[in-house]
């Protein structure tokens, strides 16, 4: 199983909104970045990801999972962009802020810090474990 991080502005699409979509989840449309697209192509159903709120909050607030593998993005006319479906799995009881990530030596080289503008990022096993511990996530 691989791990990922999905970034979203909460006033556009928040983790609460994802939770409301239930088991079916939501199409993660609108990604127009090649690296992010490649990351999504590498995803498999059941892969897990962090849900990060940018701008507002700037913290990891939830755990989600890939509900559907990469497929054409319905909001794209050119046919070159794809998206996956994700669904909410659990809250992060103690959200992990960007400031904390930066202050934690083991997390300081996460993509979240080094590639701030990438909206879909890979997360390593070690980073995943540590953040789940720090956030008191129960899965």
Residues that bind DNA (CB under 7 A): 7, 9, 32-35, 54-55, 58, 98-99, 102, 114-119
Placement of tokens 């593998």 in the chain: 69
- Minimum CB distance to DNA, residue 115 (Å): 6
Q: Between 45 and 113, name the residue whose CB sits nearer to DNA.
A: 113
Measure the CA–CA gap between 55 and 14, rounded to whole angstroms: 12
- Give phi and psi for 131, each to the nearest 5: -65, -35
Q: Between 38 and 74, name the residue whose CB sits nearer to DNA.
A: 38
Helical H runs in 12-134? Answer: 15-20, 34-41, 98-103, 111-114, 125-134
- Minimum CB distance to DNA, residue 127 (Å): 16
- Minimum CB distance to DNA, residue 7 (Å): 5
Measure the CA–CA gap between 65 and 90, rounded to whole angstroms: 10
Q: Between 75 and 115, name the residue whose CB sits nearer to DNA.
A: 115
SS3 135: coil
- Minimum CB distance to DNA, residue 53 (Å): 8
Q: Between 78 and 138, name the residue whose CB sits nearer to DNA.
A: 78
């Amino acid at each position: 199983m691989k791990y990922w991080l999905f970034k979203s502005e909460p006033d556009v699409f928040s983790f609460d909104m994802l939770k409301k979509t239930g088991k079916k989840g939501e199409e993660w449309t609108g990604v127009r970045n090649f690296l992010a697209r490649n990351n999504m192509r590498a995803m498999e159903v059941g892969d897990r990801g962090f849900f990060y709120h940018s701008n507002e909050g700037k913290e990891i607030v939830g755990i989600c999972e890939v509900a559907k593998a990469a497929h054409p993005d319905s909001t794209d006319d050119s046919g070159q962009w794809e998206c996956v479906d994700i669904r909410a799995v659990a809250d992060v009881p103690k959200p992990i802020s960007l400031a904390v990530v930066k202050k934690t030596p083991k997390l300081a080289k996460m993509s979240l810090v080094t590639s701030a503008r990438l909206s879909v990022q890979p997360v390593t096993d070690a980073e995943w474990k540590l953040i789940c511990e720090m956030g008191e996530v129960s899965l």
